Amino acid sequence: MNKIICEVEQKLRAGDYKLTPRREHILRVILQNKDKHLSAEEVYNLVKRRVPDVGLATVYRTLEIFQDLDVIHSIDFGDGRKRYEFGGEPGEGHHHHHLICTGCGKIIEVNEDLLEELESRVTSAYDFTITDHELKFFGYCRDCKQQKNKQP
């Protein structure tokens, strides 16, 4: 984790920002919850446990800076709230997809790139350089599907 924090600190410096203690707390919360897609409010609540006087505006500003510097990515899963996830290791593509359960709101990551062939065709056909993509599937997870099938 310390290696990642140092890399983020370098990105911040390159963008004329500093890694303040509050920003570091926010980054640590994101890194410790890599498997989750936290909203700004959830990040705020987790940071507030460690730094009681942190403000929600500070969390929003920091998330915006991290997003601008490609440290994190924001995703809208259709619930009207931005969710954030860590951007990954340097040089690592951000190619994974999400399954969103419309029953319980669970988010499942699909960690394989399902669109390589399509990207190649689009690049070739339209002379367009693709830098990233996002794919979301909406439906019911195993638990919600079982519950639906049990209802009369």
CATH of the domain at 53: 1.10.10.10
High-pLDDT (> 90) share of the chain, %: 51
Q: Tell which of 38, 72, 88 closes a domain.
A: 88
Q: What's the domain range around 78? A: 1-88
Q: Are residues 19 and 68 located together in one domain of the fold?
A: yes
Q: Are residues 40 and 11 located together in one domain of the fold?
A: yes
- Identify the CATH number of the domain in which residue 148 sits: 3.30.1490.190
Residue 6 assigned to a binding site: no
Whole-Å CA distances, 151 to 85, 104, 122, 142: 35, 16, 44, 15
The CA distance from 135 to 96, in Å, is 8
Q: Are residues 130 and 58 located together in one domain of the fold?
A: no
In this prediction, residue 56 carries a pLDDT of: 95
Total number of domains constituting the chain:
2
Q: Are residues 13 and 34 located together in one domain of the fold?
A: yes
**Confidence band of 10 (pLDDT split at 50, 70, 90):** very high
Q: Are residues 5 and 47 located together in one domain of the fold?
A: yes
Q: Are residues 139 and 81 located together in one domain of the fold?
A: no
Q: Tell which of 37, 58, 88 closes a domain.
A: 88
In this prediction, residue 94 carries a pLDDT of: 53
pTM exceeds cut of 0.85: no
Q: Tell which of 88, 107, 141 closes a domain.
A: 88
**Cβ neighbours of 73 (radius 10 Å):** 18
Whether the predicted pLDDT of 121 surpasses 70: yes
User: To 10 degrees, what angle do helices 21-32 and 2-14 make?
Assistant: 130
Contact between residue 103 and residue 144 where contact means Cβ atoms under 8 Å apart: yes
Query: Which residue, 112, 120, 117, is CA-closest to 95?
Result: 112
The CA distance from 79 to 103, in Å, is 12
Q: List pLDDT tens digits, range 54-109.
A: 999 999 999 999 999 989 988 888 777 888 988 754 444 556 788 888 888 888 88
